[in-house]
Structure 1
């Protein structure tokens, strides 16, 4: 371990990958912050409705995450091996799948918005605002999957800084347009929730155009038309071997998290509003562990694909220790930032009280979340060990957290903060199981043979 601590190449690569990815994640999370504060500044119901409506995109992202995670896992190993031809075929397969998923969610949001909103709330005012948002934002969902594939392949092929630049530029455009369209300006009448949706759509168009154009620069990967239309049976088999467990895990996690929002929505508008702010803050703080997780997957995957199994194992052990430090940092950050956020956020007194309790829960939750993010999504995923994630979610989320939260919401009528704590118990509960599985080293595997 002392030798690894002196491994400058390890830390240099970790830093070069982690910082751009964390920045990218932070910038993306800032869009949600801008939506929450700008919409909340006009009407608390605007903020709550958009928070619930965007749960549809959250579910879409679960399907997209399975495809792009498979692209990232196999891509990191084949990049480490130096096999760009196979990497291009994997890229094209991910594009086909993500394009199909995006089209399905576009149709659902634009034409069946009311039915989708009814899944999350029975408050008519929130439903109507949500429908207005989805009719415009649904068009952006057509583009999201394609953009994500391009950004993932750039990270995998050592262009993480480029993804950070694209995301930063896109977010800046989104926030500026948010302010103009939501509040009105430059001759444009205030649009409220429809303005937030239109800003998102324009930002997604810019993001995709930039990604496609940059992919044609030297040393970047872009899909060949031949591979887009051709199916490689062996690549498909490898892709689905990684992807199906990831899809199961993503659906378990995504639908589970969506049900959490549903519980809060059924506890009243104050609970929904507090949860909206808590979710945004939690997502921002999680950017740090998500950045380390993505960097871990690429670093370990490169070594495993190159045949350096022992080196990949050492990297995994070191990154596990780093994840604990990240969790403690995230917990402290939550404690420090909570009073500042509570001072600036505009909520009813009751919603403010709920939010205080939710922030206290998040402070404990972040330690487990950080370790699990890095270990499950980064370390285990790098070697194709994707089944564990699905099993752990089935047990800890669906057999523990969701039944407790549902019982507290619909049967026992527990306090809002206690129900919220139930929705966070799974990350802490599965921590011993995650550490036990790590020590089996099933994730130390070359997937390119």
Structure 2
């Protein structure tokens, strides 16, 4: 890549990655604000809500995989300047996401206590989490559709609009949390349930803004004809990508739920420390996620234009991006970690766990930068969605999870030993990325003439 192309690459990447990273940061702050305010109440509140949110997390795995699959196709068609077909795939994404959201709403609303018992045996956590889950389930009905439109904004160079929506939702969430969790002014003190009500408000407002915005954009407007458009050929195109994306998303996401399951059976101290660490990791990795998404969009658009050589150059440049992203993650751990450690009110044992988990996160997040950039950005951009599922299956389900389960339930290892093994999967996957990259299975134009 010559200096001029390199300069343009960096400019285009920053134009996409910065708004996307900031949006990821703001979205993480929504979860962080809940955790921060609940963390000032008591340990059981933050642990119960963290476990209950595993239900919405699993829902997001299905919706994320489906929406991400359509994003690959939309990015390529948008690069080809074919807005009509891009809208058709948006309509398909909305239909799929709505069905998934409805299923999870019915489960969380009707059997919240049963879902909580899967995650923890502790009665207090089941009671608090069950009440929270029944209320927050209504937010699921809004989230799936709004996420489709937010995806459309990102891949069609309206990333700044999605950033603005995220900023509004953060302000609403923090304000509602403050008044409803603690019972400020005329509002009742709802504690964990207050966080659930604020989440409903946030998702409803996000959807309203998305729908209003979409109707003002002719190239993105979703009418009834587009929403219910059906074509076997288009469905076939989508389902070439969906299985791989769905398998990788579910494999990775269910492993995160398995982490919560294992730590939930190691006691509330381990659960609380892991909850806080997860919040810190989500905040720190926002830049990496933004870079991965930006690279995926840029490469996808070049592939849609049939500029394969340029897409290949972008792929080579991604190695440097991943390395510097990993170093930045380490620096952020050193900066954010001490602040997180001081702020949260935890038992002494949980504080000890938290310190180790934060230090270990530096290594975890450096490895994650490579995995995110390539398995979530470069590879899926051209339809190579299978590799992530394969790598997660072997590194996580054949290595990290079985050993962690044995350590927890059979050998009764110390909590931190179990945690260290659970997080080895991201590190184990890194050496195999280059081999997959060099096969160039990701270098494909997926559009129809």
* Short-chain TM bin: over 0.9
Quick one: distance in 2 between partners of 1:350 and 1:7? 50
Contact 2:84/2:219 (8 A) holds in 1: no
1:436 aligned residue: 435
Cα 1:347/1:220, change in 2 over 3 Å: farther
Stretches of structure 2 that go unaligned for 5 or more consecutive residues are: none
Contact 1:304/1:383 (8 A) holds in 2: yes
Contact 1:88/1:224 (8 A) holds in 2: no
Does residue 112 in structure 1 map to residue 145 in structure 2? no
Does residue 406 in structure 1 map to residue 405 in structure 2? yes
- Residues 378-389 of structure 1: pairs in structure 2 closer than 5 A: 378-389=377-388
Quick one: distance in 2 between partners of 1:438 and 1:4? 24
Quick one: distance in 2 between partners of 1:377 and 1:338? 26
1:420 aligned residue: 419
User: Which of 215-224 and 405-414 deviates more?
Assistant: 215-224
2:184 aligned residue: 185
Does residue 26 in structure 1 map to residue 25 in structure 2? yes
- Residues 20-59 of structure 1: pairs in structure 2 closer than 5 A: 20-59=19-58
**How far 1:336 sits from its partner (Å)?**
2.8
2:166 aligned residue: 167
- Residues 258-273 of structure 1: pairs in structure 2 closer than 5 A: 258-273=257-272
1:323 aligned residue: 322
**How far 1:230 sits from its partner (Å)?**
2.7
Deviations 1:353-396 (A, max 9, x none): 00011111111111110110011110001000001111111111
Contact 2:113/2:126 (8 A) holds in 1: yes
Q: CA RMSD in A?
A: 1.1
Quick one: distance in 2 between partners of 1:154 and 1:336? 32
Quick one: distance in 1 between partners of 2:440 and 2:366? 22
**How far 1:8 sits from its partner (Å)?**
2.7
Contact 1:154/1:220 (8 A) holds in 2: no
Contact 2:280/2:336 (8 A) holds in 1: no
**How far 1:220 sits from its partner (Å)?**
5.0
Contact 1:304/1:444 (8 A) holds in 2: yes
**How far 1:84 sits from its partner (Å)?**
1.1
Quick one: distance in 1 between partners of 2:221 and 2:260? 38
Deviations 1:204-249 (A, max 9, x none): 1000000000112235512221122231111100111111111111
Quick one: distance in 1 between partners of 2:244 and 2:340? 38
**Segments of 4+ moved more than 4 angstroms:** none
Give TM-score scaled by structure 2 length: 0.98
Quick one: distance in 1 between partners of 2:60 and 2:214? 23
Deviations 1:88-111 (A, max 9, x none): 111111100000000000001111
Does residue 76 in structure 1 map to residue 107 in structure 2? no
Deviations 1:15-47 (A, max 9, x none): 111111111110111111111111111111000
2:253 aligned residue: 254
Does residue 87 in structure 1 map to residue 86 in structure 2? yes
Quick one: distance in 1 between partners of 2:318 and 2:268? 41
Quick one: distance in 1 between partners of 2:300 and 2:43? 45
Quick one: distance in 2 between partners of 1:222 and 1:193? 38
1:231 aligned residue: 230
Stretches of structure 1 that go unaligned for 5 or more consecutive residues are: none
**How far 1:287 sits from its partner (Å)?**
0.8
**How far 1:327 sits from its partner (Å)?**
0.7
**How far 1:299 sits from its partner (Å)?**
0.3
Quick one: distance in 1 between partners of 2:381 and 2:76? 8
1:394 aligned residue: 393
Deviations 1:415-443 (A, max 9, x none): 11111111111111011111211122111
Aligned to 2:40, what secondary structure does the other structure show?
A: helix
Contact 1:137/1:200 (8 A) holds in 2: yes
Quick one: distance in 1 between partners of 2:136 and 2:3? 47
1:312 aligned residue: 311
Cα 1:178/1:82, change in 2 over 3 Å: same
Quick one: distance in 2 between partners of 1:307 and 1:108? 44
Give TM-score scaled by structure 1 length: 0.98
Deviations 1:109-151 (A, max 9, x none): 1111011101110000000000111111000011111010000
1:10 aligned residue: 9
Aligned to 2:441, what secondary structure does the other structure show?
A: coil
